[in-house]
């Protein structure tokens, strides 16, 4: 799916010990994330938009409106960049300079491709929803022809991908280790709360397993 090493565009130059380029690590970060920030240069200006996504095989798929300026630009086959970041914690060092975060982040660079095949579009629609809420697609009404016509799907190959990660305690200067200052980590997690039913929901309708069992 991805080269087992960096390309000229994806090589990480700072903190190379935090870099990874293998397909499994790329997939792990994409699985853990929820939002991709997708960037292009459009009419000479940078544009970055948060978008829902799904990974299927060697492609990152994006789901958006046919009226979206970003999607209309992407369908022309222009270069694009997508990033997905998961923040795992705050790292508090003894010095302000060494404060940081623990994180996992993937950067994908490639040429966007419009998805036109009905079969591929059907797979992507299901995959995007299942990425957000696993096994939920079969519990809802599938998109109508009108809704399909209003939705554009774009694919970006994962061929040029890089991951950068940090974990663990702070790295303080040796001369700072004896300072009477607290140092350590504050882990961060995104936790799903109990589902809140729609006020218009009929009382006899049960919560589906995909919702009742949802965990992030």
- pLDDT value at residue 8: 79
> Is 33 inside a domain boundary?
yes
Helix (H) or strand (E) holding 184: strand 184-187
- pLDDT value at residue 216: 75
Structural domain containing residue 116: 16-189
> Is 74 inside a domain boundary?
yes
- pLDDT value at residue 4: 58
> Is 92 inside a domain boundary?
yes
- pLDDT value at residue 56: 95
> Is 109 inside a domain boundary?
yes
> Is 208 inside a domain boundary?
no
- pLDDT value at residue 12: 85
> Is 206 inside a domain boundary?
no
- pLDDT value at residue 68: 92
Outline where DSSP puts E strands in 2-145: 19-20, 36-42, 45-51, 53-56, 59-65, 79-92, 100-111, 113-114
Looking at the structure of the chain, the number of domains it has is 1
> Is 209 inside a domain boundary?
no
- pLDDT value at residue 154: 96
Question: Which residues of the chain are modeled with pLDDT < 70?
Answer: 1-5
> Is 203 inside a domain boundary?
no
User: For the domain that residue 65 is a member of, what is the CATH number?
Assistant: 2.30.110.10
At 183, phi and psi to the nearest 5?
A: -140, 150
């Amino acid at each position: 799916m991805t080269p087992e090493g960096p390309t000229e565009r994806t090589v990480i130059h700072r903190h190379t010990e935090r870099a990874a380029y293998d397909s499994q690590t790329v997939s792990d970060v994409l699985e853990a994330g929820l939002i991709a920030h997708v960037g292009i240069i459009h009419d000479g200006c940078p544009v970055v938009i948060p978008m829902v996504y799904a990974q299927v095989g060697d492609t990152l798929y994006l789901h958006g409106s046919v009226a979206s300026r970003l999607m209309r630009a992407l369908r022309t086959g222009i270069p694009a960049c997508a990033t997905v970041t998961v923040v795992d914690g705050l790292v508090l060092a003894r010095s302000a300079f060494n404060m940081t975060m623990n994180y996992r982040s993937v950067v994908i660079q490639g040429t966007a491709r419009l998805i036109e095949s009905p079969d591929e579009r059907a797979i992507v629609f299901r995959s995007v929803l299942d990425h957000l809420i696993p096994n939920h697609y079969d519990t809802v009404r599938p998109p109508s022809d009108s809704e399909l016509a209003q939705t554009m799907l774009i694919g970006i190959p994962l061929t040029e991908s890089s991951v950068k990660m940090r974990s663990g305690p702070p790295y303080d200067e040796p001369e700072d280790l004896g300072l009477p200052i607290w140092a350590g980590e504050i882990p961060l997690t995104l936790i799903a709360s109990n589902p809140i039913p729609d006020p218009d929901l009929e009382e006899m309708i049960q919560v589906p397993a995909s919702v009742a069992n949802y965990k992030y």
